[in-house]
Amino acid sequence: MNVMLVSICAAFFYGVGLVAQWLRIAEKGNYRNLVLISTTVGAVFQTLGLYLNIHVPEGINLSIINIGSLITLMVTLVLLLSSLRKPAESLLMAIIPFTMAWALAVWLFPYKHVFAAPAIMVAHVLLSVMAYGLLMVAMFQALLLAYQESQLRKHNQRRLLKALPPLLTMEKLLFEFLLVGVILLTLSLATGFVHIDDMFAKEMLHKTVLSMIAWILFTTLLIGHWLNGWRGRKAMRWTVSGFVLLLIAYFGWRTVVDFILVR
C-alpha cells in the first residue's frame, strides 16, 4: 500500500464518523457504533500512513506534517478509548476535522526532515513532541471545562453546551489526557537523561529545569485529584501553569528574555 491510498482511506472513514456523529447531535438517529467503528478504522489507516511516511531509507522522517499527524492521532485514540467507557464521542466532532486534514497532509505535502540519530534519541524527540501535544490538548480541555462549569452555574442552555459530554465526563477526560501526557513526559525526560551527556549544561539548563518543574506540577495535580479530589478551577490553573512552563521550555527562555522581559 502507498501513502496516497491509506491517507484517502483514513480521511474517508474519519468523514463517515464525523457525519454519523453530526446526525447523532442533530437527533436524526443513534449511530454511536458507526461513529466508533469508522473512526477506529480511520485511525488504523492513519497509523499505517504515518509508518510508511516516517520510515524512509535515509532515516526517520520527523517533518512537521508527520508530527502534527501523530499528535492528532494520539488525541483521537485517547478519545476513542475514553468513549468505550463513557459518552465522550461528541468531542470527536472537534478533533476529527483536524485529524482528517493532517492525515491527508501526509500525502499531499510529502515534506521530509530526515533525522539520522540513535534510536533512543529519536524516541526522545517523538516522546517530547507527543507529550507536548497531549498536554496542550489537556490545557484546552481544562479551559473548556471551566467554561462549561461557569455556564452551567448561570443555567445557560446554549446548543454548544448541550453538544458537550456531561461535566463529570469532561473532568474525567481532562485527567486522562493529563495522565497520558505525564507518562509521555516522564519517558521523554528519562530518555533525555540516558542519551544526553549533560542535561544540565548551559544550553540545556532552562529546558531541563522548566520541564521538570512542569512535570512536578502535573504530577502533583494528578496525585491531588486522586487523593484529595482536586478539580474545577484549581485543576484548570495548575494545568495551564504547567503547560506555560513547557511552552517556555520548548521555545526557549532566551526568546522570553529578548522579546518580553527586555521590552
Give the span between the Cα atoms of 69 and 62, in whole angstroms. Answer: 11
Helix residue spans in 203-231 (DSSP H): 205-228
| Last residue of one domain, picked from the residues 116, 131, 166 | 116
For residues 132 and 109, state if they share a domain. no
For residues 107 and 130, state if they share a domain. no
For residues 69 and 109, state if they share a domain. yes
pTM for the whole structure: 0.76
Number of domains in the chain: 2
Q: What range defines the domain where residue 81 resides?
A: 1-116
For residues 101 and 136, state if they share a domain. no
For residues 136 and 28, state if they share a domain. no
Question: How many helices and strands, by DSSP H and E, does the chain display?
Answer: 10, 3
For residues 160 and 183, state if they share a domain. yes
| Last residue of one domain, picked from the residues 87, 116, 145 | 116
| Last residue of one domain, picked from the residues 69, 86, 116 | 116
Structure confidence at residue 195 (pLDDT): 75
Per-residue pLDDT of the chain (263 residues; tens, 9 = 90+): 688 999 999 999 999 999 998 888 777 778 888 999 999 999 999 999 988 888 877 778 878 888 888 888 988 888 888 888 777 777 888 889 999 999 999 888 877 777 766 777 778 878 888 888 889 888 888 888 888 888 777 776 666 666 677 788 888 888 988 999 999 999 999 988 887 666 666 666 777 888 899 999 999 999 999 999 888 888 899 999 999 998 888 765 545 444 444 44
Give the span between the Cα atoms of 93 and 135, in whole angstroms. Answer: 20
For residues 49 and 175, state if they share a domain. no
Structure confidence at residue 208 (pLDDT): 83
Contacts of 234 (CB under 8 A, 6+ apart): 224
